[in-house]
Structure 1
Amino acid sequence: MTATNDTSAAIEGRITDEDIERARAQIGIPVNKSGELWNHVPSQDGISHFAFGCGDDNPLFHDPAYGATTRWHGQIAPPTFPISTGIDQTPRFTDPERKKLFKGLFRGTGKYYSGVKWTWYQPIYAGRPVLMESYTQDVQVKESSFSGGRSVKETYRHLYVDIDGNPIATRDESYINAERHGSKKAGKNAHIERQHWTPEELAEVEAAYEAEVRRGAEPQWWEDVAVGTELPPVMKGPLTVVDIISMHMGWGWGGYGLGPLKYAHQSRTRMPGFYVPDEYGVPDVVQRLHWDPERAKALGIPAPYDYGQMRASWVTHLLTNWIGDDGWLVEMDVQTRSFNFHGDIHNCTGKVVGRGAGAEDVLELEVAATNQRGEVSTSGTARVLLPSRQTGAVVLPVPDAELRRRGAAVASRIGGKVGAELRRLHGE
């Protein structure tokens, strides 16, 4: 999630006015940057592997036979599954000016996930292709409390649609580009040490896992929910390298095009700035700060930490457990406030804070994830729909006209990859 080049600004990890200007010039322009898809077309196994990587054993995400007994008539994907799929129909830039605009922004800085807003319109099924488009939605400049220098917050929109252009979901994901030279000086996390767990403390964690409640086939009726209702919590952690590996098993490499052995050679050839030699001189990906303690310490971070996408998926686990098979998660907007280091737990919690006047109105919730130090590292809001004894089944949300038009444009692009993927799917 970081990069370097050989200019003096990049070596020092400084943010330049030129980069800020170019970032703002990218707003609204579709750009093909999804990389190699991990799940070219969603499959039964791909969906199950993703849920496995999130630590979510809900049979709705694993078992087609179980799914057939629900209103969805089959296995569906966990809410954040789109991060692992999406055929990008956007043509790659060929004109020099456009290529220059998108080349090498904020090199040498640290790029940290800061939050995401998801909105969902329809489920994803095995065998049904997902198309996508991504572009910069917003750019904000501010002083960084983490690095002690200047930072830039970039928000990228990812629009996912079905083969007909009907929106499936939007994902507005934000990242902070922080100047490297300030991170060691700031020392914001210098006091934190990895948690040492006693058998008694671990027993409490195991008990929390055992106490997890999944609503499943029993409807969570809209009429039975009051403001102040608390969701049964979901435990995650203590975080280990296996958790990071398992997330990659379901997610892939997040579109970076990384991989082992010869794939790593090809990646180093294509983007050498994404590799930094370790203490033995072996070039390794900058992302290793998620599992390599020495790399994390070299960057002024006391220990490796998770991916923000993991915590977003953990919060959706909390929400889908509570709404049951018949509910629908409409929206989730969460921010990450601090690192989730190896050895940390995260107890995911939620509470109903508002409800509409009619049975078809959404319920408003507050959600959070709290570690063993009592720090709320992730917080935000969510909106859900529940079935009603009075009006019946949930009616899925309808995207606005502007989003439907953009979705239709994504699906109608000629010369994109979707045709080839469909032929491959059907063995042609």
Structure 2
Amino acid sequence: MERARRQIGIPAYQRDVPWNKVPDASSISHFAFGIGDDNPLFHDPDYGRHTRWRGLIAPPTYLISTGIDETPKPTDPETKELFRGLFRGVGKYFSGVKWTWYAPVRPDAPVFCATWTQDVVEKQSSFSGGRSVLETYRTLYVDADGGPLATRDETYISAERGGSKKSGKLSDWERQRWDDESLAEVEAAYAAEERRGANPRFVEDVTVGEELAPLTKGPLTVVDIICFHQAFGWVGYGGGPLRYAHQLRQRMPAFFSKDRYGVPNVVQRLHWDEDWAKEIGIPAPYDYGQMRTAWLAHLLTDWVGDDGFAAELDIRVRSFNFHGDVQTCRGTVTATDPATGEVRLDVRCTNQRGEDTVTGTARVVLPSRANGPVVLPQADDDLRRRAARIVARNSTSA
């Protein structure tokens, strides 16, 4: 814990090459496909040219798949030792994230980034029944001119792998079984979804207590997990097939365990391998937290339409989204500011059992009849200075 706390504010170098080295129309479209978002704003450049963005733009969370890392690589022995082998042998689970967006990502415009440890907190885990550690990492994304695009404050919980088996918390859980009648309800929910699109939603027309049109995701399958990786890549693990897996085994042998046939495979397979999930005390494979984050961002972009802008999404994961589960993404307006166009919302993902698996808040900006189009949010001076250091390639600290 002492060593973890010493990492706060220290650049956290990422050795992995970004999945999308430079954003382009194809990778943006593939990302939107991978999260089940068919909004033409993310797929069709001709459609985009007729919007206020004058071209195709990326879904908000696309940034997790790109960004040339300009975090300084540690060279002194003390810093290298600071990050070596921390919390070895435990599981690391996505706990939540706060995204703040300042501008959209466009094709053929390089993105640069840097990451540092923002916070470290020790707590008792209801998941594993023992000690756990919450670590928050901030990634700052900037354009080639040093203009901030977004910050991502992502929190992970390090807890004993297999702790849920010991705690027995999920021992009574049963996987959802679907009949034709209940599946028909899911299909009807998909058919009823609404996308605002080219019809502007003005801030003056929004009222506190208003419910956003719900968004359906599921039942979750292995195909959805595959498409997630098509969208995001390997989300920081640096894994992959064949020789890439061999290279990762040499670098991170503890990230592999043998399956029942003796084949070493990534422990990350709990997202698709039912045997491994059950072995560590989880009754079925489950999604990635970044998936539900992207789904809630999809909810926002559908609601604000082509003329609006999603400015912030701050969520916490409350429980698993298992294979076979359906998540309904919902939002409720909690405040409006006609002078700035800002609208604040409560957001959540609720499964077919009525459980909120993700809760959080969001902030969007809408056009105004009185004040005109959306004005994009501005980063504060400190963030802009950090952004300038990233593209200057001479950053000595985050």
TM-score (norm 1): 0.91
- Aligned amino acid, residue 396 of structure 1: L
In 2, Cα distance between equivalents of 1:369 and 1:185? 27
Q: For the Cα contact (< 8 Å) 2:341–2:367, is it kept in 1? A: no
Q: Which residue does the alignment assign to 2:339?
A: 359
Match of 1:409 in 2: 389
Q: What residue in structure 1 maps to residue 314 of structure 2?
A: 333
Aligned pair 1:90/2:104, yes or no? Answer: no
Partner of 2:3: 22
Q: Which amino acid aligns with 1:135?
A: W
How far 1:361 moved relative to its partner? Answer: 4.2
Q: Supply the AA of the counterpart residue of 1:46.
A: S
Could you tell me which runs of 5 or more consecutive residues in structure 2 were left unpaired when the two chains were aligned: none
Is the 1:326–1:393 contact (alpha carbons within 8 Å) kept by the matching residues of 2? yes
Following superposition, the deviation at residue 214 of structure 1 comes to 0.2
Q: In the alignment, is residue 53 of structure 1 matched against residue 72 of structure 2?
A: no
Structure 2 CA distance for partners of 1:415 and 1:265, relative to 1, 3 Å: farther
Unaligned runs of 5+ in 1: 1-19, 417-428
Residue 181 (structure 1) shift: 5.8
Taking the aligned partners of 1:189 and 1:245, their CA distance within structure 2 comes to 25
Q: How does 1:264-303 map to 2 (within 5 A)?
A: 264-303=245-284
Deviations 1:69-124 (A, max 9, x none): 10000100000001000100123212211111001111111111011000000010
Residue 374 of structure 2 is aligned to residue 398 of structure 1: no
Check conservation: 1:333, 1:382, Cα contact below 8 A: yes
1:222 to 203, 222, 227: 203
1:208 and 2:174 aligned: no
1:150-202 deviation per Cα after TM superposition (whole angstroms, max 9, x unaligned): 01000110100001111000000001111236332211111111110010000
Cα distance in structure 2, aligned partners of 1:275 and 1:43: 33
2:150 maps to 169
Q: Is 1:113–2:94 an aligned residue pair?
A: yes
Q: Kindly report structure 1 stretches of 4+ aligned residues shifted beyond 6 Å.
A: none
2:126 matched to which residue of 1?
A: 145
Aligned to 1:188: 169
The equivalent residue for 2:291 is 310
1:67 aligns with 2:48: yes
Write the distance in 1 (CA, Å) between the matches of 2:88 and 2:394. 34
Query: Deviation per CA, 1:278-303, whole angstroms, max 9, x where unpaired?
Result: 11110001110000001111111000
Say which SS state the counterpart of residue 77 (structure 1) adopts: coil
1:134 and 2:97 correspond: no
**Which range is displaced more, 53-62 or 180-189?**
180-189
SS in 2 for 1:180: coil
2:302 is matched with which residue?
321
Pair 1:262 & 2:243 matched: yes
Q: Residue 203 of structure 2 contacts residue 341 of structure 2 at CA under 8 Å; is this kept in 1? A: no
Q: Provide the residue aligned with 1:39 in structure 2.
A: 20
Q: 1:389: Cα distance to partner?
A: 0.8
CA contact (8 A) 2:163 2:281 kept: no
Q: Deviations over 1:311-349 (max 9, x none)?
A: 000001111000000001111101110000000000001
Aligned mate of 1:387, from 367, 370, 375: 367
Whole-angstrom distance in 2 between the partners of 1:370 and 1:190: 21
Identity %: 64
1:376 — aligned with what? 356
1:55 deviates by 0.4
Contact map agreement 1:328 1:385 (CA 8 A) in 2: yes
